[in-house]
Amino acid sequence: MTTVGLLGTIHNAELRERYNCSLSLYKRIIHEFKPDVICGEVHPQSWQKYMNDPQDKGYWGEPASEYWELIFPLCEEHRIIFVPIDWFELDVWHDFDPFIGYGAEERKKLEQQDDAWFIKQMETSSYGNIPFNSNEFDQITRMKYEWLSKVSPKSQNMRWQVRNQIMIQRVKNAMKEYAGKRILCIVGADHNYIFQDELRKEDVHWIYPLKLKENE
């Protein structure tokens, strides 16, 4: 049977160190999972640019630093198949800003509420075996995106719902192509709850949250 695991990451290096989810921890998790395939939050165009020139850091700050610094090198070293699963349309991304259309004062209040949601997410770091891979984090994150959907339904549909649907479908396509293999999905932790909702329905051995082995 195909085994599919999910690892939610934090893209910001400073936050990773502050909340005890360093690249060394992610490396340990990947080694313990022993994936044949990694489905990563990387745009296919960025992946192709990397394949053509590993020094080309994509565009628009994408992919996130953990891919350049850890995941791509690990895939090369251990011959792990990498499948890029991200989706967005850069030329229209800013046209779907969740607070677009709001006046300056109202926008400021919404941004402050968004910051408050982020703080609530960070406050869950101590839960679970791996920071930000827990039911507590996922519950707060789900509530955050439900709030955003009320603030701007159109933008949230484009930036979040459709994007995640396409990302998850790309994982499903990889599951078909690499049936019987060990597949690890690595995405920003905000995606965890929606990946969990959809992929646990599949006929695979689903693992989330991942567990770390006890130190010997």
- 150-161 per-position pLDDT tens digit: 999 999 999 999
pLDDT of residue 61: 67
What crossing angle do the helices spanning 135-151 and 192-199 adopt, rounded to 10°?
100
Q: Provide the mean pLDDT of the chain.
A: 95
Rounded Cα distance, 206 and 200, in Å: 6
Whether 216 has a pLDDT exceeding 50, the answer reads: no
pLDDT of residue 55: 80
Q: Is residue 64 within 8 Å of 41, Cβ to Cβ?
A: yes
What average pLDDT does this structure show over 111-127? 98
Whether 60 has a pLDDT exceeding 80, the answer reads: no
Rounded Cα distance, 204 and 206, in Å: 6
Peptide bond into 209 cis (omega under 30): yes
What pTM value is reported for the model?
Answer: 0.95
Q: Residue 136, Cβ neighbours under 10 Å: how many?
A: 15
Rounded Cα distance, 176 and 192, in Å: 21
Task: Classify strands 182-188 and 37-40 as parallel, antiparallel or unpaired.
Answer: parallel
Rounded to whole angstroms, what are the CA distances from 93 to 86, 146, 160? 14, 20, 11
pLDDT of residue 21: 96
Can you point out the beta strands (E) in the chain? 3-9, 37-40, 81-84, 182-188, 205-207
Task: Specify whether the backbone of 62 is left (phi greater than 0), alpha (psi in -120 to 50) or beta.
Answer: beta
